[in-house]
Structure 1
Amino acid sequence: MDRHELRRLDYSLSQDHTDLQSAYREFFTTACSIETVRAAEASGFDKDLWERLCATGATTMALPETAGGDGATLVDLTLVAEEGGRALAPVPWIDHVAAARLWAALGQVPAEVVTGAQICALDPHQEAGVGPLLLPAAAIADHLIVRDGHDVVYLRFDDRPAAVDNIGRLPMAWVDPALAAERHVLASGPNALAAYQRALDEWRLLTAAALTGLTEATMTIAAEFAKTRCTLGVPIATLQAISHPLADIAITVGGARNLTRRAAWFADNEPDERPELAGCAFVYIAGEAPRAAAVAVHVQGGLGVSAEAAASAYLVRARGWALAGGDPARTAQRITALVAQLELGTRTQPAAPAAEPAPV
């Protein structure tokens, strides 16, 4: 078995990967306390944290060298996303990275976008936008990329849309493309739509990584509480009703992490071989993260549901982040279509690009 074939089955991290993840874990631990998260809830965005994150090269690393970036792999990016999710970082890094990478695939990316001085975002919904769009980072984005029929379209507004309240505490806003101050087509046709679909897969892949980090953090919060809270003279962590659900969360985190890294590796190295994996990672953890966060809240009893408890902050984001790109069931439908086409393709002809699922 050659090294490439082995890598298709082994998703352990290299020393460089470990160093990268450790660096960003330290960054978010230092720069993004729960107090920082709470202070940014009204807008969903901490400008100072964003500037500090950009200064680490987190936006530059995501782009290919031909676009002025550092050419990081998707595996690298999932590690950054996981640490951002662990800290509930109120920054639009995933939206910006997915949109900037799409922009680089279709044309020249402005230097201000490469460095993060200007924020760009995309429409992460599976279906093509019709009329006003509810986008998770539109309230703070300088540039927007959306899909209109067979076109991938650039939008810019003189005045940013007003943020709307949402359970995920995201800088979400309604956008009406007809009101854009600037609108032009970046690309059209099948290749443009395929590039947009890759961007959607990357958005879901990085969101899955962030939700994995969030889920592990909820487990840690609950476990630390259970080790110090006692009943009848023993820590509640020794009770099966507490320890077994926490063990289930640990299994969930391990499975989600492996699936996310597997999806990232295939997207980097064999993108046409397993195109369904990014969606699978997202659908899996989108369902499990809210359940895990609810367990963390329940373990802490009345404290867990209090407004000041960190567990409650994780719970609302576990639910909200999973829905920021629309109903995960739409992604599940696409997975079904992809797998069916791939199965058919192995028997008759090469698999065609997956069609968008019918609205439900």
Structure 2
Amino acid sequence: MRFVPTSEQEDFTASLGRLLAGADSVGAARSWAQGDHAAGLDLWRRLAEQGVHALLVPEEHGGMGATPVELVLALELVGRHAVPGPWVESVAYLPVALGSGPVVEALAEGGLGTVALAPHVPYALDADLAEHRYVVVDGALHGAEVGEQHTSVDGTRRLFSVTPTGTGQDTGQDTGLGTGDLDRAFDTAVLACAAQLLGAGERLLDDAVAYVKQRRQFGREIGSYQAIKHQLADVRIALDFARPLVHGAALADPATFGRDASAAKLAAADAAYLAARVALQVHGAVGYTLELDLSLWITKVRALVAAWGTTAYHRDRVLAALVAEREQRTEVAG
């Protein structure tokens, strides 16, 4: 499959890229981790004005009615710039899970939403800030109330236990839950997480390449050594192999969307994790310091690898889908 963005998609990503390049997303992320959300929320609102939050919301509910392709392009940039906030939950999962209603319209305008669905997402991200909080219990979406906070390896990921309070109609919170598809919502969130990982991996590679060009040892830039070149080349190859899977899943047929989203998450997670390891290694001891901005992407990749389904879960899912498809073809041929 040859993925070529349309001119409209290129204009959209170029606009987002300029906005994020001019914003202090690193400063916003560091402040967010310390409990100061002003800069992060300002960036959140600015991206909402660009239409990011409305991508998967139908036009009749104030959204853009876009496709997963636009979602992938936007979330890759969010990952590249380490923008804090519950992006997957607000932009990918909840618009699809809710389907319609006033909450969907609020999300399209930039409302913060979050959700927990065990076992893949046991805690709700930024639940103390979110105006729209949900938890999935026994295959149904319920309004939720905030409980205990938990620590993440990524300081910008503020995790909370949530407990169901009933449906929105029962509690008065988030009325009009709509008739969304929870399975499709989960797969869309998996794909969005893969896009974030891809963007983070690209940023880690860029920073590593920039560093090895300026760091000198024994009178030479360390990037001139073959061993380092080979490691960076391996990262480039891994990211280049992951990208078609992520973009391909965004274009997948509904019948194979779940399988393809899992394959995309696997490839993006492996590539981003390799990028994090190599970036840490080429930076040497300074790479282990939290003061270095590199730490924002290293810790984020570590957290996102296990978010929205572990690597083992997605491998099993892809394998089961492929086996089922082979058996089906065998029955048809017989």
Quick check: 2:68–2:250 contact (8 Å CA) kept in 1? yes
Unaligned runs of 5+ in 1: 1-8, 350-360
**Alignment identity in percent?**
26
Equivalent residues of 1:139, 1:162 under 8 A apart: no
The answer to whether 1:40 aligns with 2:64 is no
Q: In structure 2, how many angstroms separate the alpha carbons of the residues matched to 1:275 and 1:140?
A: 30
Q: Which residue of 1 aligns with 2:112?
A: 119
Structure 1 CA distance for aligned equivalents of residues 14 and 271 of structure 2: 25
Cα deviation per residue 1:52-76 (whole Å; 9 max; x = unaligned)? 2212221123312132211111111
| 4+ runs deviating over 4 angstroms | 124-127, 178-181, 183-188
Report the counterpart of residue 271 of structure 1 in structure 2: 254
Contact conserved, 2:259 with 2:318, CA < 8 A, in 1?
yes
Q: Which residue of 2 aligns with 1:147?
A: 136
Q: Quote how far apart the aligned CAs of 1:187 are.
A: 7.5
1:246 aligns with 2:232: yes
RMSD: 2.6
Aligned equivalents of 1:323 and 1:139: distance in 2? 22
Partner SS, residue 158 of structure 2: coil
Higher mean C-alpha displacement, 173-182 vs 222-231: 173-182
Q: Deviations over 1:196-228 (max 9, x none)?
A: 111111111011111111001001111111111
Deviates more, 1:332-341 or 1:80-89: 332-341
Give the conservation status (yes or no) of the 8 Å contact 2:116–2:162: no
Q: d(CA) in 1 for partners of 2:115 and 2:62?
A: 20
Cα distance change on mapping 1:213 and 1:247 into 2, 3 Å:
same
Q: Counterpart of 1:289?
A: 272
Deviates more, 1:255-264 or 1:95-104: 95-104
Q: Which residue number corresponds to residue 193 of structure 2?
A: 207
Q: Is the 8 A contact 2:97 2:182 kept in 1?
A: no
Tell me the residue number matched to 2:164.
177
Question: What is the deviation of 1:100?
Answer: 3.0
In the TM superposition, residue 12 of structure 1 has moved relative to its aligned partner by: 2.1
SS in 1 for 2:244: helix
- Work out whether residues 99 and 120 of structure 1, in 8 Å CA contact, stay in contact via their aligned partners in 2: no
TM-score by length of 1: 0.82
- Listed as ranges, the gaps of 5+ residues in structure 2 are none
The answer to whether the aligner puts 1:11 opposite 2:3 as a matched pair is: yes
- 1:234 is matched with 220
More helix by share: 2
What letter corresponds to residue 30 of structure 2 in structure 1? R
State the alpha-carbon separation in 2 of the partners of residues 302 and 40 from structure 1: 26
Tell me, what secondary structure is at the counterpart of 1:294? Answer: helix
Shift of 1:342: 2.1
Q: Contact 1:145 / 1:155 at 8 angstroms: preserved in 2?
A: yes
Normalised by the length of structure 2, the TM-score is 0.88
SS of the equivalent of 1:34 reads helix
Q: 2:311 matched to 1:333?
A: no
1:133-189 alpha-carbon deviations (Å, 9 max, x no partner): 42234332222343322x4223043xx44542211231311112259982899589x
1:53 aligns with: 47
Identify the residue that residue 80 of structure 2 maps to in structure 1. Answer: 86
